[in-house]
């Protein structure tokens, strides 16, 4: 994981805010780290009739959703774009009902749209994979056989193979597709030894990602490793052939899984008690415009908290299916029966903000810097903003000649509702005297030692 780290460079846009009388003093830095997303970044795009079980997108930019009311809906791309822009949900009348309770199971998490306009979905309760040929018409494509309570499934980028998280069998099965037809009987286990895999995804390079519920892990199987198994090798296992991208007890309840074109891997938790009590996280090369709050308890430290129960109404402690469609990360809120969207890469973030009072100047620095435009506002005690502000494209700002009182700086990203505040408590130096002995004492609230008096 990488993130832009910027030092406290005093070059760049500096502002003289006037002379505020008071003692010149020193201070220690106060650092804060923001969440990557906040309430204002998540847009309500749809209110559904039941709790979200599955989400995915198709090649046309539509979003497909399955809920516990046993309805498989298609949400149109045009409606999604309007909902994101207006922050208002799509009218339910615009939903396209693909399958209903009469032809879908009660526990569906895997949805795979096909290039011919049809859609596969798995029915874990009856061990079958069904095919929607037209809205309201679904027929079994494959029943029983090697299926054992399947949940997630996905096509590879070329559309020549379907990967199925065969959950209760603790395997991932690859089904070849030749001439547009799936050879279900030729479905072969390529990963074994798992512990209730819930979701699978394949990136543009052909690398396979697996969310494993009880192993509490995100695994990766490279395209070359997949090819080796398809060519006759033994199935990969967590001990051999898989790369652990994230693991640990804090990943209990890993459920949703989604990949973006940049190679970032998003996953959701619904029982992450010590991590966030549910949330969305990402691993991989993270855009520099994002914050880097890294939970230290994870096996590999490269995990960013995108959203959790404290930062967004989209997140709760229930299951959180994920999908990325046209650069928008969608999640289904389990407890509210709603779908929310978050525009990836559009919201720059301020992180690692520190504010130091030094030499009479209040210096604020943060990461990332780069080409974003920021506004710094000087704050007095009790969070009261002053009239002094500065706009800069640097990663620091300076307020000159401030006085002896607690000062803060609020840094906001222009064009975004996000902001971060940090405070510097000025340190004051006093002179203490006992007879001919003089001693200086410095602190936020300095006091003379016993036997000394302040001069």
CA distance 359 to 298: 41
Q: Which range scores top for mean pLDDT: 134-148, 342-356, 404-418? A: 134-148
CA distance 57 to 164: 17
Q: Where are the domains of the chain?
A: 30-34+350-424, 39-343, 427-455
pLDDT higher than 90, residue 53: no
383-412 average pLDDT score: 80
- Under the banding of pLDDT at 50, 70 and 90, the label for residue 307 is low
Q: What pLDDT is stored for residue 134 in this prediction? A: 92
Measured distance between the N- and C-terminal CA atoms of the chain, rounded to whole angstroms: 54
Percent of the chain beyond pLDDT 70?
71
366-384 average pLDDT score: 71
> Mind listing the pLDDT tens digit for each residue in 219-242?
999 999 999 999 999 999 999 999
pLDDT higher than 60, residue 415: no
Q: What pLDDT is stored for residue 359 in this prediction? A: 74
- Under the banding of pLDDT at 50, 70 and 90, the label for residue 303 is low
What distances in angstroms separate CA 262 from CA 284, 287, 344, 367, 404, one per listed residue?
9, 9, 11, 21, 48
E runs forming strands in 278-335 = 279-283, 304-308, 322-325, 328-333
Starting at the edge strand that comes first in sequence, how are the strands of the sheet with 197-202 ordered?
A: 197-202, 208-212, 217-221, 243-247
Q: What angle do CA 318, 324, 325 make, to 5 degrees?
A: 130
Q: Which range scores top for mean pLDDT: 74-88, 102-116, 219-233, 332-346? A: 219-233
Task: Tell me phi and psi for residue 389, to 5 degrees.
Answer: -135, 160
210-225 average pLDDT score: 92
Q: What pLDDT is stored for residue 124 in this prediction? A: 73
CATH of region 39-343: 2.120.10.30
Q: Is the model more confident about 359 or about 18?
A: 359
CATH of region 30-34+350-424: 2.60.40.10
Q: What pLDDT is stored for residue 270 in this prediction? A: 73
Strand duo 385-392 + 419-424: pairing: unpaired
Q: Which of 122-126, 229-233, 342-346 shows the lowest mean pLDDT across its residues? A: 342-346
Q: What pLDDT is stored for residue 147 in this prediction? A: 93
pLDDT higher than 50, residue 78: yes
Average pLDDT, the chain: 76
Contacts of 369 (CB under 8 A, 6+ apart): 4, 6, 393, 394, 395, 396
DSSP conformation class of 448: P
CA distance 441 to 433: 11
Please give the radius of gyration of the chain, using alpha carbons only, rounded to the nearest integer: 27
Contacts of 225 (CB under 8 A, 6+ apart): 236, 241, 242
Percent of the chain beyond pLDDT 90?
32
pTM: 0.68
Q: Which of 27-31, 60-64, 90-94, 450-454 shows the lowest mean pLDDT across its residues? A: 27-31
Q: What is the DSSP string of 19-66?
A: ---S---B---EEE---S--GGGEEEEEE-SS-EEEEEE-TTS-EEEE
Q: Is the model more confident about 320 or about 164?
A: 164
414-429 average pLDDT score: 65
pLDDT higher than 80, residue 90: yes
199-223 average pLDDT score: 93
């Amino acid at each position: 994981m990488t993130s832009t780290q910027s030092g406290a460079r005093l070059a760049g846009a500096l502002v003289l805010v006037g002379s505020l009388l008071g003692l010149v003093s020193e201070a220690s830095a106060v650092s804060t780290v923001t969440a990557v997303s906040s309430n204002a970044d998540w847009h309500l795009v749809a209110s559904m009739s039941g709790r979200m079980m599955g989400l995915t997108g198709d090649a046309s930019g539509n979003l497909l959703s399955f809920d516990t009311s046993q309805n498989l809906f298609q949400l149109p791309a045009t409606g999604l774009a309007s909902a994101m822009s207006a922050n208002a949900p799509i009218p339910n009348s615009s939903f396209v009902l693909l399958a209903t309770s009469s032809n879908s199971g009660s526990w569906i998490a895997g949805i795979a749209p096909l290039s011919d306009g049809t859609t596969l979905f798995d029915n874990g309760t009856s061990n079958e994979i069904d095919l929607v040929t037209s809205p309201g018409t679904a027929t079994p494509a494959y029943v029983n056989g090697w299926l054992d309570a399947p949940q997630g499934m996905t096509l590879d980028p070329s559309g020549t193979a379907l990967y199925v998280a065969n959950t209760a069998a603790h395997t991932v099965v690859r089904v070849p597709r030749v001439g547009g037809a799936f050879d279900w009987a030729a479905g072969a286990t390529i990963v074994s030894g798992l512990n209730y895999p819930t979701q699978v995804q394949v990136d543009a390079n052909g690398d396979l990602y697996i969310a494993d519920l009880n192993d509490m892990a995100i695994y990766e199987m490279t395209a070359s490793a997949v090819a080796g198994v398809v060519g006759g090798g033994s199935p990969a296992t967590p001990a051999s052939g898989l790369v652990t991208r994230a693991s640990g007890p804090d990943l209990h309840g890993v459920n949703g899984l989604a990949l973006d074109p940049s190679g970032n891997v998003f996953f959701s938790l619904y029982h992450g008690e010590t991590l966030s009590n549910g949330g969305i996280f990402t691993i991989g090369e993270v855009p520099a415009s994002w914050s880097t709050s890294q939970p230290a308890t994870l096996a590999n430290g490269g995990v960013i908290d995108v959203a959790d129960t404290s930062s967004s109404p989209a997140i709760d402690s229930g299951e959180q299916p994920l999908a990325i469609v046209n650069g928008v990360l969608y999640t289904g809120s389990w407890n509210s029966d709603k779908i929310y969207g978050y525009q990836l890469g559009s919201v720059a973030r301020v992180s690692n903000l520190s504010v130091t009072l030094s030499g009479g100047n209040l210096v604020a620095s943060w990461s990332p810097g780069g080409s974003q435009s920021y506004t710094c506002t000087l704050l007095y005690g009790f969070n009261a903003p002053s009239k002094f502000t500065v706009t800069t494209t640097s990663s620091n700002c300076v307020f000159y000649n401030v006085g002896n009182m607690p000062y803060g700086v609020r840094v906001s990203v222009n064009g975004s509702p996000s902001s971060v505040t940090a405070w510097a408590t000025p340190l004051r130096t006093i002179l203490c005297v006992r007879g001919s002995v003089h001693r200086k004492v410095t602190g936020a609230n300095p006091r003379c030692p016993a036997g000394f008096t302040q001069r």
